[in-house]
Chains A and B, each alone.
Chain A
Amino acid sequence: KAGVTQTPRYLIKTRGQQVTLSCSPISGHRSVSWYQQTPGQGLQFLFEYFSETQRNKGNFPGRFSGRQFSNSRSEMNVSTLELGDSALYLCASSLSGQTYEQYFGPGTRLTVT
């Protein structure tokens, strides 16, 4: 099976702009989680979607949002970008709500200038 894919891989944006990142899970996987990875804060949970519903949310401001489509693909959106949003954004997919193993995509490297 193909692994988790993310697009785009690299992105450069300006402060105040918004951005949308996409994640395609492993075929058959219905849960998608998003994480932010920075050198200072490590890996931090953003949110999880399962069957098109947000099931859990981390401690990030409302500028960070997401959604999941009927084919399990997920997008996350960051509005009004700040310099501190520069990070590697990783998504991870899992088979179902009761299967814990999560497999990560390659990430989207977002740079905010």
Chain B
Amino acid sequence: GENVEQHPSTLSVQEGDSAVIKCTYSDSASNYFPWYKQELGKRPQLIIDIRSNVGEKKDQRIAVTLNKTAKHFSLHITETQPEDSAVYFCAAKETGGGNKLTFGTGTQLKVEL
């Protein structure tokens, strides 16, 4: 089955700096890669996603890049703000098999003033 590794486990940046979180996946057949943000005590919130036929997607300060050859994808947050502080999860969905998502272990992002 699919295996997703996520790094780093914790990330501390200064407000206004950029943050990058990286994930690798094992199943080359995976075709959908979402990112979720989970604030303390709240539900995971879908913030951006990318499909395997696209190399990059951007939404305001957030972007995701996908390298299918290397089987890795990354989340980029620019101009970080204190409200970006949360745990971020990457995930991968295998082709077929319904909507099963395999998640990375999460990255605790802290944006310091």
Instruction: Tell me how many residues of A have a C-beta within 8 Å of chain B.
Output: 25
Interface of B is mostly: strand
| Chain B minimum-CB-distance residue to A43 | B103
Interface string of B69-113 (1 = CB under 8 A from A): 000000000000000000001010100011111111110000000
Q: Give the interface size bracket for B toward A.
A: 20 to 34
| A31-89 interface (Cβ within 8 A of B) | 31, 33, 35, 42-45, 48, 50, 55-56, 58
B44 contacts across to A, CB distance below 8 A: 43, 90, 104
Main secondary structure of the interface of A (DSSP, over half): strand
**A4–B43 CA distance with the chains assembled, in angstroms:** 10
B67 contacts A by Cβ under 8 Å: no
Give A contacts to B, CB under 8 Å: 4, 31, 33, 35, 42-45, 48, 50, 55-56, 58, 90, 92, 94, 97, 100-107
